[in-house]
């Protein structure tokens, strides 16, 4: 794997790092401004402008990360495809270059070849070559009376064990017959024939006098295996995106211990600095998706039920976590500040 193969991964990682850094810097001091705006000590206009800027940042960088992830996955699939095709072509060319016309001249491409020493030697050679690669079969073909017939082949898979010399290729892929006149090489996309579903590469062994193809070397790979390789190619990209999304989703959870520390840290309108996930996620999710997006559960303890003095009644509920039966704790938690809270049970009526 060359260094150029790593660029989609490096670009994706760099974009995520930049996105995270911008989010941290953007939210620096935002909590304090929100607290002052909630208390009427500062303009809500500047606060709304900042939230709008954050929404734009999230939309731009989120779209960029998604585009890089999808683009990187596409290019990785293409890279795996091209590498596999190149490998099959290289195998076919190397086998064809290793054959001489004198070696294949004794073959008649009929059933009588099974007792021919040259047939046994070539079959063994193809078997050894195929054994160096996974999921690969190598075989020979020749044109007889406008029909393609098989010759020696590697017995790497069961379906090829039953192919006898002289057997006619009933359903050859499109373009194969023309190779016996043109003498060119060919790589075929996945196709179906009487033996199964394959991708193939073909290379000719040329006649020394006429430069016409004497026989054709075919290299097959099962297309199902090829599809698996292509499906696994973007795994790292998809896994990176899923981990990134899961991190932001998981960061919405806050433990009772964390809630307790937030409440206990409130003193004169000041709150201890929250954890990094809270700093990154909740303000964006709240500003983009509203209160319903931030619904989760937490156990409310009696010590939590004393709102800080700067909280005012009638505030909008944007974050809810379910308490024990009959009790609900409604909180809006933004960076560095708990803005609103109220209760909906009979024991603790709304503020």
| Average pLDDT value for the chain | 65
For 296, the domain range is 254-351
Of the two residues 47 and 208, the one the predictor is more confident about is 208
Last residue of a domain, one of 184, 205, 225: 225
Residue 32 to residue 55: CA distance in whole angstroms: 19
The mean-pLDDT minimum among 60-69, 145-154, 317-326 falls in 317-326
Phi, psi dihedral angles at 212 (to 5 degrees): -90, 155
Phi, psi dihedral angles at 107 (to 5 degrees): -75, 140
Residue 269 to residue 94: CA distance in whole angstroms: 77
Mean pLDDT of 337-350: 32
pTM of the model: 0.56
Mean pLDDT of 237-260: 58
Q: Is residue 75 part of a domain?
A: no
Mean pLDDT of 95-124: 86
**How confident is the model at residue 202, as a pLDDT?**
93
Residues 263 and 154 grouped into a single domain: no
Query: Which two structure tokens, joined as six digits, stand for 328?
Result: 């609900």
Of the two residues 76 and 96, the one the predictor is more confident about is 96
Last residue of a domain, one of 225, 243, 276: 225
Predicted confidence (pLDDT) per residue in 32-77, tens digit:
555 455 445 445 555 556 556 666 666 677 677 777 777 777 787 8
Which pLDDT band, with edges at 50, 70 and 90, does 149 fall under? very high
In the chain, beta strands by DSSP E: 136-144, 147-153, 186-193, 196-206, 213-222, 320-322, 328-334, 337-343
**How confident is the model at residue 343, as a pLDDT?**
29
The answer on pLDDT for 122 being more than 80 is yes
Looking at the 3D structure of the chain, how many domains does it have? 2
Phi, psi dihedral angles at 244 (to 5 degrees): -65, -45
Q: Is residue 332 part of a domain?
A: yes
The answer on pLDDT for 3 being more than 50 is no
Residues 141 and 100 grouped into a single domain: yes
The mean-pLDDT minimum among 10-24, 195-209, 248-262 falls in 248-262
The mean-pLDDT minimum among 11-20, 184-193, 299-308 falls in 299-308
Last residue of a domain, one of 225, 242, 266: 225
Which pLDDT band, with edges at 50, 70 and 90, does 329 fall under? very low
Q: Is residue 114 part of a domain?
A: yes
The string of DSSP letters for 232-301 reads HTTHHHHHHHHHHHHHHHHTT---HHHHHHHHHT-BTTB-----HHHHHHHHHHHHHH-GGGGB------
Residue 15 to residue 47: CA distance in whole angstroms: 27
Residue 34 to residue 42: CA distance in whole angstroms: 9
Q: Name the most confidently modeled range: 16-25, 39-48, 91-100, 261-270.
A: 91-100
Phi, psi dihedral angles at 132 (to 5 degrees): -80, -5
Q: Is residue 33 part of a domain?
A: no
The answer on pLDDT for 128 being more than 80 is yes
Phi, psi dihedral angles at 328 (to 5 degrees): -135, 135
The answer on pLDDT for 114 being more than 70 is yes
**How confident is the model at residue 162, as a pLDDT?**
64
Which pLDDT band, with edges at 50, 70 and 90, does 302 fall under? very low
Q: Is residue 299 part of a domain?
A: yes
Which pLDDT band, with edges at 50, 70 and 90, does 101 fall under? confident
Phi, psi dihedral angles at 312 (to 5 degrees): -120, 150
Query: Which two structure tokens, joined as six digits, stand for 350?
Result: 């709304």
Residues 106 and 206 grouped into a single domain: yes
Residues 151 and 215 grouped into a single domain: yes
CATH (domain of 205)? 3.30.450.20
The answer on pLDDT for 102 being more than 80 is yes
Q: Is residue 334 part of a domain?
A: yes
Mean pLDDT of 160-180: 82
Q: Is residue 295 part of a domain?
A: yes
Sheet holding 320-322, edge to edge: 320-322, 328-334, 337-343
Residues 213 and 156 grouped into a single domain: yes
Residues 201 and 284 grouped into a single domain: no
Q: Is residue 192 part of a domain?
A: yes
**How confident is the model at residue 274, as a pLDDT?**
38
**How confident is the model at residue 2, as a pLDDT?**
46
Residues 206 and 109 grouped into a single domain: yes
């Amino acid at each position: 794997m060359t260094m150029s193969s790593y660029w989609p991964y490096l670009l994706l990682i760099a974009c995520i790092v930049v996105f995270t850094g911008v989010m941290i810097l953007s939210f620096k001091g935002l909590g304090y401004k929100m607290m002052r705006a909630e208390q009427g000590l500062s303009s809500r206009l500047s606060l709304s402008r900042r939230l709008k800027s954050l929404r734009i940042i999230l939309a731009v960088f989120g779209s960029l990360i998604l585009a890089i992830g999808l683009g990187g996955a596409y290019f990785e699939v293409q890279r795996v495809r091209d590498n596999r095709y190149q490998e099959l072509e290289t195998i076919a060319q190397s086998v064809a270059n290793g054959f001489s016309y004198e070696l294949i001249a004794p073959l008649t491409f009929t059933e009588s070849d099974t007792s021919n020493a040259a047939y046994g030697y070539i079959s063994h050679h193809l078997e050894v070559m195929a054994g160096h690669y996974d999921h690969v079969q190598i075989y020979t073909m020749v044109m007889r009376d406008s029909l393609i017939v098989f010759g020696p082949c590697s017995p790497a898979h069961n379906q090829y064990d039953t192919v006898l010399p002289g057997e006619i290729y009933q359903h050859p892929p499109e373009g194969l017959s023309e190779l016996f006149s043109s003498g060119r090489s060919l790589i075929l996309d996945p196709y179906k024939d009487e033996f199964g579903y394959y991708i193939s590469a073909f290379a000719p062994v040329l006649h020394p006098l006429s430069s016409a193809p004497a026989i054709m070397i075919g290299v097959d790979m099962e297309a199902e295996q090829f599809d698996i390789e292509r499906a696994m190619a973007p795994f790292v990209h998809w896994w990176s995106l899923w981990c990134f999304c899961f991190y932001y989703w998981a960061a919405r959870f806050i433990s009772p211990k964390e809630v307790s520390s937030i409440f206990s840290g409130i003193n004169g309108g000041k709150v201890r600095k929250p954890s990094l996930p809270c700093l990154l996620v909740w303000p964006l999710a709240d500003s983009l998706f509203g209160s319903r997006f931030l619904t989760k559960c937490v156990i409310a303890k009696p010590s939590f039920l004393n709102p800080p003095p700067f909280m005012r009644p009638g505030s909008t509920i944007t974050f809810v976590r379910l308490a024990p039966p009959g009790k609900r704790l409604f909180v809006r938690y933004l960076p560095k500040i708990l803005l609103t809270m109220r209760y909906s049970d009979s024991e603790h009526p709304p503020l």
